[in-house]
């Protein structure tokens, strides 16, 4: 059996807990918790907005569709630049260790402004033309991305292990920084391996 003082102690403790719970929202106005990890997302989806149905076996004169997605988790609004590049097996990719972009010139560029936690998905339609095959090599003369045609004149040697001529379409993410007064590479890239037939 509890004494009267025991009940008083329990009642006072319950009141103090209730006061603390009621005060937490007011205190949070003045107390800022450290932010979580800040980062940007970059992804490619197939033609049905899914992580499947990516084009892999490609031929000249056919349009292929993917969606490039960017998500802002930087804790504030951000201005992004998305660069689409094209390479053969010997051209450089971005280097994640040194956080440097590929030295290749972009074939297609677009920019998007996103609020914190904002998402953008942009369709990317591409097709090849002026392709040829000769002497164990294939050549892509031009690549059209969202209606913008670029002369690429890229050759690829026959890959005996994977039985094909391979190229890579890849996307780099850059973000505007007021300190640099320009766009800097965000150390994010995604790519698609394409077997030319």
Quick: pLDDT tens for 57-102.
999 999 999 999 999 999 999 999 999 999 999 999 999 999 999 9
Tokens linked to 6: 């025991």
pLDDT at 178 (0 to 100): 85
The pLDDT assigned to 20 comes to: 59
- Regarding whether 166 and 77 lie in a shared domain, the answer is yes
Q: What is the pLDDT of residue 6?
A: 64
Asked if residue 19 and residue 43 are part of one domain, the reply reads no
Same domain, 24 and 70: no
Whole-angstrom CA distances from 13 to 3, 10, 19, 148 are 16, 5, 10, 71
Q: Are residues 64 and 159 in the same domain?
A: yes
CA distances from 116 to 2, 44, 71, 191 (A): 55, 20, 8, 25
Q: Domain containing 113 — which CATH number?
A: 2.60.40.3880
CA 84 remoteness from chain centre: 12
**Mean pLDDT score, 40-69:** 96
Looking at every residue in the chain, the average pLDDT score rounds to: 90
Do both 67 and 136 map to the same domain? Answer: yes
Same domain, residue pair 47 and 87: yes
Beta bridge partners of 60: 128
Same domain, 47 and 11: no
If DSSP states are collapsed to H, E and C, what string results for 21-61? HHHHHHHHHHCCCCCCCCEEEEEEECCCCCCCCCCCEECEC
My answer on whether 102 and 59 are in the same domain is yes
Residues 2 and 74 in one domain: no
Q: Based on the domain organization, do 129 and 91 belong to the same domain?
A: yes
pTM given for the model: 0.81
Both 44 and 24 in one domain: the answer is no
Provide the residue range defining the domain that includes 121. Answer: 39-196
Token pair for residue 126?
Answer: 């591409």
3-state secondary structure of 195: strand
pLDDT tens-digit profile of 100-153? 999 999 999 999 999 999 999 999 999 999 999 999 999 999 999 999 999 999
- What total number of domains does the chain contain? 2
User: Is residue 55's pLDDT more than 70?
Assistant: yes
């Amino acid at each position: 059996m509890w004494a009267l003082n025991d009940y008083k102690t329990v009642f006072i403790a319950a009141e103090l807990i209730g006061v603390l719970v009621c005060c937490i929202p007011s205190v949070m106005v003045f107390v800022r918790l450290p932010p979580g990890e800040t980062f940007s997302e970059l992804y490619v989806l197939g033609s049905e907005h899914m992580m499947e149905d990516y084009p892999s076996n490609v031929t000249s004169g056919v349009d292929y569709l993917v969606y490039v997605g960017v998500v802002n988790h930087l804790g504030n609004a951000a201005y992004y630049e998305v660069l689409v590049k094209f390479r053969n097996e010997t051209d450089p990719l971005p280097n994640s260790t040194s956080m440097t972009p590929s030295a290749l010139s972009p074939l297609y560029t677009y920019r998007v402004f996103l609020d914190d936690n904002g998402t953008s998905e942009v369709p990317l339609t591409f097709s090849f033309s002026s392709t040829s095959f000769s002497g164990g090599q294939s050549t892509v003369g031009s690549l059209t991305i969202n209606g913008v045609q670029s002369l690429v004149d890229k050759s690829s040697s026959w890959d005996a292990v994977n039985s094909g001529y391979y190229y890579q379409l890849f996307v780099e993410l850059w973000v505007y920084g007021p300190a640099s007064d320009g766009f800097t590479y965000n150390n994010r890239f995604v790519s698609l391996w394409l077997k030319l037939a």
